[in-house]
Every structure is written in C-alpha cells, then in structure tokens.
Amino acid sequence: MKLGSILPAAVLAALLPLGVAAGVDKTAGLKEIREAAQQGDAEAQLELGILYEFGYGMANNQIAALAWYSVAAKQGQQKAAARAELLKKRLSPADIDKADSMSAKLPGKQPATAK
C-alpha cells in the first residue's frame, strides 16, 4: 500500500526526507489504506497516521495519528516510531493518554494460525 495521490505534493515533499513517500503508487486510495491498516498492515498504519496527522482526506486528528503510529511502531515500523516521537512533543499528556487508549483497541499484526 502506498500513499499514491492521496497526499498533496507539499505534504509528500515534506515527508521525502523521512523516506515515507518513496515508491508512491498512484492507484492506492484512502479506502484501501484504511482496510489494510485495520487488518494489521504496519505500512498502511503508518500511512493512515500520516493522513490523520496532516488532515488530508479526513479531519486533522493528532490523537488518532499517534494511535496509528504507535500500533505500527509496536510492529517494528521505525518511521512510525519516529513520527510518534515528534508528535508526542506537540501533544499534552492527556492527549497522549487518549492516543494510548485508542491504540490499545487498534489491530496489530494478526498472528499466524497454527496448523
């Protein structure tokens, strides 16, 4: 799942130093990103966090952004961990607590089923 045409050029340019916008696929859409994130895809969770953080295609919601970044970071997504740390510096302790509570309800990587 890639950011595609979901993010405006200015946001993509701002994210390029982070390596987030590399390999942009113009066919990906918000619906596909949301579905993949909800199925536990850490890359899609990072991308959904970015969309919430910058308010593109949805309400600008820093708390939801931090929640999605946290879930992705717990799966080893280092860019999400970096975005989460930057965002925490701008949020109040109460907002960070809300994001932590929200992230506990979000899906992480689904465990493999035993055969």
- The residue that leads in pLDDT, 95 or 10, is 95
Confidence class for position 109, pLDDT limits 50, 70, 90 = low
The contacts of residue 107 (CB under 8 Å, 6+ apart) are: 37, 38, 39, 40, 71
Kindly state whether residue 109 falls inside one of the protein's structural domains.
Answer: no
Mean pLDDT of all residues in 60-72: 94
**pLDDT given for residue 6 in this prediction:** 47
The total number of structural domains that make up the chain: 1
Position 39 pLDDT exceeds 50: yes
Residue 36 above 60 pLDDT?
A: yes
Of the candidates 26, 28, 37, 35, the residue with the CA atom closest to the CA atom of residue 65:
37
Q: What pLDDT shows up at residue 5?
A: 42
Provide the b/e sequence for 31-64 (b: ≥16 CB within 10 Å).
Answer: ebbbebbeebbbbbbbbbbbbbbbeeeeeebbbb
Residue 115 included in any domain? no
Provide the mean pLDDT of the chain: 78
Domain membership of residue 56 as a residue range: 4-104
Residue 69 in any domain: the answer is: yes
Position 113 in a domain: no
Does residue 110 lie in a domain region? no
On whether residue 114 sits in a domain, the answer given is: no
